A and B are shown apart, each in its own frame.
Chain A
Amino acid sequence: MTAPVTAGAAARTGNPPRGAARRRRKRGTSSWAVRAPLLPALVFVIAVTQLPFVATLVLSLFDWNAFHPGGRRFIGLDNYAAVLGDTAVRDAVVTTTVLTASVVAAALVLGLALALLLDRRFPGRALVRTMLITPFLLVPVAAALLWKHLLLNPEYGLLNGALTWAARLVGDGDAPQPDWISTAPLIAVGTALVWQWTPFMMLIVLAGLRSRSPESMEAARMDGASEAQIFRYLTLPHLRRYLELGALLGSVHIVQNFDAVFTITSGSLGTANLPYTVYQIFYQAHEYGQASAAGVLVVLGSLVIAAVALRVVSSLLRGEASRG
């Protein structure tokens, strides 16, 4: 706390040229005095986030298969060529993109709808809200297992059971029993993810709805605007930044999803996404070099997308500031 005071005192002593130099030096040391306590944290963050990445970069330049420990050698960018030339990886990029985009879109629409419903007052609202949030609190792998066995299994799953039950109501109980996962594997994985991520979107949109200005809503109603018009011209523009935020955060998480693909389809039937493919290269092919190269490429791709996304979010934040 004394440092700024002495700096100020030094500034008042006149003698500009030398004083200025000293002042610069003083200010330097004083600001470091403030930063010093944070240094360990910074070092720690760098150690646990950047060093492993640097190691990955180094490893990605080596031909290293765990089962041939003697054959480790430097091969430059060959791993990158191998990964980019691997049809499995290219398919995984497409799968990841399709899966992420469709899951985020569906979860957003559903989340918006649920949030609008929950925004009204009705008895038992708190209970309903809790029940709606529950899927998001489940462990991802448990949610995936739940979908694979309890819901989608063609022999004892709830869906086919419900079909049989419905058929019994009208006739002999001979309902079609589709094999959901085999006929629509990507949709099965996507549905499980939508179910998990809808509550997340709902919460964000709900926060947005709560922050609408009641005066303007009131005014719109006084002017005779219909509910649809209020939604279209007041609520939706206001919610835009919340929807963007939901889409961004959701995408970041869903791109990385591994549990659903691993559990429901074991990555078969064209559902292998990028995380699963990297896992496959690392754990089953034991190609450490190639897996590192794939990991680096995934990070680079994510960085490009994140840069764009962050620009969107920072405009959000600026918007917030200007409104405040």
Chain B
Amino acid sequence: MASAVAAGLLAGCAGAGGAASSPRGGAVDVLMVNNPQMVELRKLTAAHFTKDTGIEVNFTTLPENDVRDKAGQDFANQAGQYDVATISNFEVPFYARNGWLRPLDPYAAEDSTFDRADLLDPVRRSLTADDGRLYGVPFYGESSFLMYRKDVFAEKGLTMPAHPTWHQVADLAAAVDGARKGMRGICLRGQPGWGEVIAPLTTVVNTFGGTWFTKDWQARLTAPEFVRATEFYVRLVREHGEKGAAQSGYAECLNGVVQGRAAMWYDATAAAGPLEAAGSPVKGRIGYAPAPVERTASSGWLYTWAWGLQKASRNPDKAWKFISWASGKEYEALVGREAGWAGVPAGKRASTYESRPYRQAAAAFWDVTRASIAATDPWRPGTQPRPAPGIQFVGIPEFSDLGTKVSREISAAIAGRQSVATSLRKSQKMAERIGERYRSR
């Protein structure tokens, strides 16, 4: 194992990467998350993009955590194993600062079919680094919202408020818990990982008035607001959430809702696609409400999977052609025709929400989604100014480690193995160390 670590490092040292360059010199190597929208892209690429341009694309698809690790490693060492990787608005600021990415403005400006002005403002800004240049092109954007079973609510004579508060949601979860056999009140992520349990939890913390760090890098994980939010979340998921919550992430909750094991679900707006897809047993039965709030006007997160072009890429021009095609209007129409409009990688272009077939297919959720994304502000997600951008995360490279370590403590609290107070006390110590590092800079 040590030697495996070493082998990876050796590659980094020598500056020559794992050199898994494709057998055909001109192919574009793409590393991406195995989300449904990307799986669809993989299916459509050969028959359309490669056929039209003659450019081969080799895909590597992995789960989210693994993509992050692999991309982080490959880009940090400029190993050039992948030309393009799905990175997010979390990575873009510091990937760009470290000089690992190519600025994409020149390509976008020259590409007449791309239409940069069509990109949604908050999404585009979240992929723009300190130097004002664009370093990622969004494939799809998402916020978070509350999904609920309209049919179950109707049976129980319950109504979802137009702008629910978290306490209302907790009462509703109690009321619908057990409405059908094996149906729990709500599904909330509990699986460890900074991109799993920490994301929804942090939006709850924001709207309860808490924050990870103050403007001057003081860690605030044991502040009353943070504690109240975490206790609320953990209690809700323990009392009315899914079973096995400490091992349930996005994928598990999606399965649970599709199979009728949860009456509500607070998660990514991108989840609406698979829920409303043809063949989904809950298609047409789901209602959508904005992310629940307490002390802020909105609390949805902002997240986008975007294409980052590695600086060390050997075929940047071909890679851009692929990016431009995958993130273009044409591709959205193609998915609409081939796989149904509900599965379109939305949340990045204004034109998507103007298109009639999309509005019809996404009738239940397009409006809530667009409004949620429009309401986000990564610099002011809560009730106080922040030292770094980010709504459901803190936009610093150390957060992947800190968030993951904290997530394990939270997971242990969800599993009932320790109290929330203990979890946060341990977490505060870890966060303080990071805060000190930034204060002394």
Residues of A participating in the B interface, judged by any CB pair closer than 8 Å: 49, 51-53, 55-56, 59, 65-69, 88, 148, 153-156, 177, 179, 181-183, 185, 256, 258, 264-270, 272, 275, 278, 280, 282-286, 288, 291-292, 295-296, 298-299
Q: How far is the CA of A49 from the CA of B3 in the complex (A)?
A: 7
**Minimum CB–CB distance for B384 against chain A, Å:** 26
Q: Is the CB of A59 within 8 A of B246?
A: no
**Minimum CB–CB distance for A81 against chain B, Å:** 15
Q: Specify the chain B residue showing the minimal Cβ separation from A58.
A: B13
Q: How far is the CA of A284 from the CA of B408 in the complex (A)?
A: 13
Q: How far is the CA of A272 from the CA of B409 in the complex (A)?
A: 12
Q: Is the CB of B246 within 8 A of A278?
A: no
Q: Is the CB of A55 within 8 A of B6?
A: yes
B36 at interface by CB-CB < 8 Å: no
Residues of chain B within 8 A of A68, CB atoms compared: 98, 397
Selected from B9, B245, B414, B417, the residue in CB contact (under 8 A) with A292 is: B9
Selected from B3, B256, B400, B405, the residue in CB contact (under 8 A) with A53 is: B3
Residues of chain B within 8 A of A179, CB atoms compared: 243-244, 246, 415
Q: Is the CB of B76 within 8 A of A292?
A: no
Q: How far is the CA of A135 from the CA of B121 in the complex (A)?
A: 53
Q: Is the CB of A69 within 8 A of B243?
A: no
Q: Is the CB of A155 within 8 A of B76?
A: no
**Minimum CB–CB distance for B8 against chain A, Å:** 8
| Given known contacts A267-B408, A268-B408, A295 and B243 CB-to-CB distance under 8 angstroms | no
Interface residues on B, range: 35 or more
Residues of chain B within 8 A of A296, CB atoms compared: 2
Q: How far is the CA of A299 from the CA of B6 in the complex (A)?
A: 12
Q: Is the CB of A288 within 8 A of B243?
A: no
Selected from A66, A148, A269, A295, the residue in CB contact (under 8 A) with B6 is: A295
Count of A-B residue pairs with CB < 8 Å? 133
Residues of chain B within 8 A of A283, CB atoms compared: 69, 72-73
Q: Specify the chain A residue showing the minimal Cβ separation from B408.
A: A268
**Minimum CB–CB distance for B378 against chain A, Å:** 19
Residues of chain B within 8 A of A269, CB atoms compared: 246, 408, 411-412, 415, 417
Q: Is the CB of B5 within 8 A of A278?
A: yes
Q: Is the CB of A52 within 8 A of B1?
A: no
**Minimum CB–CB distance for B398 against chain A, Å:** 8
Selected from B7, B77, B246, B411, the residue in CB contact (under 8 A) with A52 is: B7
Q: Is the CB of B94 within 8 A of A275?
A: no
**Supplied contacts A67-B398, A268-B408, A285-B401, 6 more A-B pairs, CB within 8 Å:** A59-B9, A266-B193, A272-B408, A278-B1, A285-B400, A286-B397
8 nearest A-B residue pairs (beta carbon): A295-B2, A67-B397, A182-B415, A56-B6, A66-B76, A52-B6, A154-B243, A285-B401
Q: How far is the CA of A185 from the CA of B244 in the complex (A)?
A: 11
Residues of B participating in the A interface, judged by any CB pair closer than 8 Å: 1-3, 5-10, 12-13, 69, 72-73, 76-77, 94, 98, 182, 191-193, 242-247, 256, 259, 261, 397-398, 400-401, 404-405, 407-408, 411-412, 414-417
Query: What are 13 inter-chain pairs, A to B, with CB distance below 8 A?
Result: A53-B3, A55-B9, A68-B397, A179-B246, A266-B193, A280-B401, A282-B5, A282-B8, A283-B69, A286-B400, A286-B401, A292-B9, A296-B2
Q: Is the CB of B9 within 8 A of A268?
A: no
Q: Specify the chain B residue showing the minimal Cβ separation from A299.
A: B2
Selected from B10, B94, B416, the residue in CB contact (under 8 A) with A182 is: B416
Residues of chain A within 8 A of B243, CB atoms compared: 154-155, 177, 179
Q: Is the CB of A53 within 8 A of B6?
A: yes
Q: Is the CB of B182 within 8 A of A182?
A: no
**Minimum CB–CB distance for A174 against chain B, Å:** 11
Residues of chain A within 8 A of B3, CB atoms compared: 49, 52-53, 56, 295
The CB with the most chain A CB atoms within 10 A, among B3, B73, B404, is that of B3
Q: Is the CB of A155 within 8 A of B182?
A: yes
Q: Is the CB of B2 within 8 A of A181?
A: no
**Minimum CB–CB distance for A281 against chain B, Å:** 8
| Given known contacts A288-B12, A295-B5, A182 and B247 CB-to-CB distance under 8 angstroms | yes
Q: How far is the CA of A52 from the CA of B405 in the complex (A)?
A: 29
Residues of chain A within 8 A of B400, CB atoms compared: 284-286
**Minimum CB–CB distance for B414 against chain A, Å:** 8
**Minimum CB–CB distance for B230 against chain A, Å:** 16
Q: How far is the CA of A181 from the CA of B407 in the complex (A)?
A: 17
Q: How far is the CA of A12 from the CA of B9 in the complex (A)?
A: 57
Selected from B7, B12, B76, B244, the residue in CB contact (under 8 A) with A154 is: B244
Residues of chain A within 8 A of B182, CB atoms compared: 155
Residues of chain A within 8 A of B5, CB atoms compared: 56, 278, 282, 291-292, 295
| Given known contacts A275-B1, A280-B404, A67 and B416 CB-to-CB distance under 8 angstroms | no
The CB with the most chain B CB atoms within 10 A, among A49, A67, A154, A298, is that of A67
Q: How far is the CA of A59 from the CA of B5 in the complex (A)?
A: 11
Q: How far is the CA of A156 from the CA of B243 in the complex (A)?
A: 10
| Given known contacts A67-B98, A153-B244, A268-B408, A284 and B415 CB-to-CB distance under 8 angstroms | no
